[in-house]
Amino acid sequence: MPELLAGTQRALLRRLAVDQSENRVPSIVAAVVRDGAPVWIGARGRVDGAEPTADTQYRIGSITKTFVAALIMRLRDEGRLDLNDPLDRFVPGTPAGASTIAQLLSHTAGLTAESPGEWWERTPGVPADELISLLGKQSMPHRAGRRFHYSNLGFGLLGEVIARNRGMSWMEAAEAEILRPLGMGRTTFLAQAPHAQGYAVHPWADVLLPEPSHDGGAMAPAGQLWSTATDLARWAAFLGGDTGEVLHPDTVAEMREPAIVDDADEWRGGHGLGLQLMRHKGRRVAGHTGSMPGFLATVWVDPKDGTGVLFLANTTAGGGYNLLADYFDIMAEREPRLPATWTPLAQSEVDSELLALTGQWYWGPSAYALRLRQGGLLDLTPLNGRGRASRFRRDENGAWIGLDGYYAGEELRIVRGADGSVSHLDLNTFIFTRTPYDPNAAVPGGVDADGWRGL
């Protein structure tokens, strides 16, 4: 494990100790991940009479949803479903049949938060067919797409989408397609020793009450899994883009894109496709919180910085709420990232035709710079810093497609004249020319024949 400065380690451990002590947490393990690997793991409290370790299992609650979301995205990338498909295509007979897969992933499908019947987190679950038979109009209190409404029930149904596509349970699919390929052998459906017992801590006395733990049945995709700090550190790396070929990094980046804001007045929190989003001091981090009776857990990752933070604890309530935000702050203050070393393009990436395109271009009177970047990307950026910037990658058909910003998904066409020279750039009807409003280019609406003039 790469080592942090001694002062950083002390600050991280002290913050963990304060959280465990002040919130009266029976045990807690936390970790910091940098560039895909854990750089610090700390623990406080006791499990079976000893301090917990990076290999001690805790229940991770709703972090389970991120694994379910990854399985759905694998199905999408394989062409077995479309995110705009209605739920009815795969799981007919529910009141959310017209809601899309994307709406289920982003908690905008209109479903209730919980399943019908007894509190599912503390009672044995039922099979999917039985759960579906219990759903009625009361399970759909909102119009699909209207608002964010967190739904454990929605992820129970997504687990069934996976099962019916794969011909196996969602957990079997997770083991085969995610956990084994990523080496996450200590992430399991039921607890495996060594593991922590879940507890509720009495609000007015220093005593504990053991919490029950059951197979959630059809609701298990909403919060069943157990994991360790080591395995969750690998998952943090995955969410940051180190995907190990389980998913393409672009797909995980798509999961991290905001689909809905869940606190519209402030936009401090939101949701992507199966991932929670949080803004903190200029960062936009992705991951998920998790809670089940007797357990709390959270994993956050800042892909831009390559830093992830996580904790697992065996308490029903009270710990870890500000811990990870403080960990980001400690790392930013004490272990700031060095800029990546600049290196020139490899000779194999140098394309003389692309090189000739670089430099200044104009959209009307607005100046833009077109640059050739590592990986064969074209980067179009306004020179005054105000305007629409995007990067473009050439697809398998040779077209330049926008990766981000306003022009994401749009095609940048390099238009040539009769003599073969480049006339202009056409970006979805926006024309970029080498001089402002070049009269020799196909500027929509034409250019005044008398040209530029004074008043």
- Structure confidence by residue, pLDDT tens digits, 225-274: 999 999 999 999 999 999 999 999 999 999 999 999 887 677 788 999 99
Confidence of residue 3 (pLDDT cuts 50, 70, 90): confident
Place 118 in a pLDDT band, splitting at 50, 70 and 90.
confident
pLDDT single digits (tens) 430-451: 999 999 999 988 889 999 988 9
Q: Are 315 and 295 in contact (CB under 8 A)?
A: yes
Fill in the DSSP letter of residue 306: T
The per-residue pLDDT for range 196-228, each reduced to its tens digit, is 999 999 999 999 999 999 999 999 999 999 999
Q: Indicate if the pLDDT at residue 287 is higher than 70.
A: yes
For the entire predicted model, the pTM comes to: 0.91
Residues 6 or more apart in contact with residue 274 via CB below 8 angstroms = 65, 66, 68, 69, 70, 72, 73, 105, 106, 255
pLDDT bin (cut points 50, 70, 90) of residue 13 is: very high
- Let me know: does 303 contact 253? Beta carbons within 8 Å: yes
Residue 1's pLDDT is 64
Question: Do 6-334 and 347-433 fold alike per CATH?
Answer: no
Q: In the chain, pLDDT over 90 holds for what percent of residues? A: 86
Between strands 208-210 and 226-227, the pairing is: unpaired
CA distances from 49 to 22, 25, 381 (A): 20, 15, 59
CATH 1.20.140: does it fit domain 347-433? Answer: no
pLDDT at 28 over 90: yes
Domain ranges of the chain: 6-334, 347-433
**Cβ distance 369 to 355 under 8 Å?**
no
Architecture of domain 6-334: 3-Layer(aba) Sandwich (3.40)
d(CA 96, CA 156): 12
- DSSP assignment, residue 179? I
Q: pLDDT tens-digit profile of 123-180? A: 999 999 999 999 999 999 999 999 999 999 999 999 999 999 999 999 999 999 999 9
88, amino acid identity: D
Of residues 3, 71, 46, 34, the one with CA closest to residue 310: 34
Q: What is the mean pLDDT of the chain?
A: 95
